[in-house]
């Protein structure tokens, strides 16, 4: 795949590329970070953080592509989603192996990560009915009303490390199938599996500029939150970062969807089956390596 490559054949180290205007390119930055297997501490690759100029170029490409993409018939956009879900199914095993290596969850959990994201791509294939408006005749004398679904423009997504397949697939398929263009900033900790999915999206027929990818940390996030051409931002991650994104983007007039961490509880009743309860507690607390927003953090038990 072109989204990641092996520049150092003697080491096998891969580099996560940027995607700008349909081209996978290496960032010109000198700021980079290792991608580390958390189980073995093996360095799997490197991710280079995008410069401000590269982020601006990605947004400009998305803005330019929006004019024609919003006019693309719904059926044409839907066919791309149909092709994307087919390609994800065909490559699910290989993506899961990379996801396991860079994120640390078990192979079964990695496949589940992708499957959950795939369900959203399948949902995006229903865009024909999802985009229907409403028409009401005779609201008043000589007055009818109707609603139309219109794309916003350039949207951005900021995704966390714990679900590098599912959460990007929550965002960019629905955004672009509805006629928006998109700039994705995946987690810098494990971007390789995300980039494999992005590569499949391009293979499925997403036009140049409709989907763009930049890597980076706070500087890139802040630029996405403040750029005048970004109309909406979706974020998933920690409460501290999510609060920052919500406040900063909101101050700059953007629609913001910020999904943050939660405190999850379980109440064990006095008559609960002990063995079933213990198994359920372990799975709820430590499934997906314990790295999920719904992971159990508090168990409340009654004394008898």
Interval 269-282: pLDDT, tens: 989 999 999 999 99
Question: Which pLDDT band, with edges at 50, 70 and 90, does 10 fall under?
Answer: very low
Residue 24: predicted pLDDT:
97
CB atoms within 10 A of CB 295: 17
Residues 214 and 272 in one domain: no
Residue 1, in any domain of the structure: no
Least confident of 32-46, 71-85, 257-271, 282-296: 282-296
| Residue at a domain's end among 225, 244, 259 | 259
In this predicted structure, what is the pLDDT of residue 261?
Answer: 82
Place of tokens 């044409």: 76
146 within domain boundaries:
no
Domain check: are 128 and 162 in the same one?
yes
pLDDT in tens, 197-253: 999 999 999 999 999 999 999 999 999 999 999 999 999 999 999 999 999 999 999
Examine the pLDDT at 8 and tell me if it is beyond 50. no
- What values do phi and psi take at 70, rounded to 5? -65, -25
Q: Total domain count for the chain?
A: 2
Residues 131 and 268 in one domain: no
- Given a cut of 60, is residue 9 above it in pLDDT? no
Q: Which listed residue (125, 155, 225, 293) is catalytic? A: 293
Q: How far apart are CA 94 and CA 83, in angstroms?
A: 18
Closest CA to 196 of 101, 125, 79: 101
Q: Is residue 3 part of a domain?
A: no
Residue 133: pLDDT over 70: yes
Identify whether 58 is part of a domain.
Answer: yes
Query: Is residue 144 assigned to a domain?
Result: no
**Mean pLDDT computed over 92-115:** 96
Predicted confidence band at 263 (pLDDT cuts at 50, 70, 90)? confident
Q: Active-site residue 293, yes or no?
A: yes
76 domain residue, yes or no: yes
For residue range 149-183, what is the model confidence (pLDDT) as tens digits? 999 999 999 999 999 999 999 999 999 999 999 99
Over residues 176-196, mean pLDDT: 98
Same domain flag for 106 and 76: yes
Residues 78 and 207 both lie in one domain: yes
**CATH code, domain with 204:** 3.40.605.10
Residues 27 and 74 in one domain: yes
Residues 109 and 200 in one domain: yes
Q: Are residue 207 and residue 297 in the same domain, yes or no?
A: no
Does 274 share its domain with 212? no
pTM for this model (two decimals): 0.90
- Asked if the structure places residue 4 within a domain, the reply is no
The answer to whether residues 132 and 276 belong to one domain is no
Domain extent, residue 285, equals 264-301
In a domain? residue 9: no
Residues 180, 251 within the same domain: yes
64, 199: one domain: yes
């Amino acid at each position: 795949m072109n989204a990641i490559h092996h520049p150092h054949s003697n080491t096998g180290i891969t580099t996560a590329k940027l995607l700008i205007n349909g081209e996978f390119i290496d960032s010109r930055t000198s700021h980079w970070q290792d991608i580390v297997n958390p189980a073995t501490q093996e360095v799997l690759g490197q991710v280079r953080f995008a410069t401000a100029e590269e982020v601006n170029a990605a947004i400009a490409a998305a803005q330019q592509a929006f004019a024609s993409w919003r006019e693309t018939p719904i059926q044409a956009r839907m066919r791309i989603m149909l092709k994307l879900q087919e390609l994800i199914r065909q490559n699910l095993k290989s993506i899961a192996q990379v996801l396991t290596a860079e994120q640390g969850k078990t192979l079964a959990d990695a496949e589940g990560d992708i499957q959950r994201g795939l369900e959203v791509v399948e949902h995006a294939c229903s865009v024909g009915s999802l985009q229907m408006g409403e028409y009401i005749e005779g609201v008043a004398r000589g007055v009818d009303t109707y609603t139309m679904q219109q794309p916003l423009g350039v949207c951005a997504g900021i995704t966390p490390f714990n679900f590098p397949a599912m959460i990007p697939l929550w965002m960019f398929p629905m955004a672009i199938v509805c006629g928006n263009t998109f700039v994705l900033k995946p987690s810098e900790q494990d971007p390789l599996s995300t980039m494999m999915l992005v590569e499949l999206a391009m293979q499925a027929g997403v036009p140049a500029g409709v989907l763009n990818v930049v890597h980076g940390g706070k500087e890139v996030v802040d630029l996405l939150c403040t750029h005048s051409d970004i109309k909406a931002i979706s974020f998933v991650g920690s409460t501290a970062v999510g609060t920052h994104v919500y406040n900063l983007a909101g101050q700059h007039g953007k629609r913001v969807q910020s999904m943050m961490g939660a405190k999850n509880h379980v109440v064990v009743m006095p008559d609960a089956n002990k063995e079933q309860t213990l198994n359920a507690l372990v799975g709820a607390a430590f499934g997906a390596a314990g790295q999920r927003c719904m992971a159990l953090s508090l168990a409340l038990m009654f004394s008898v």
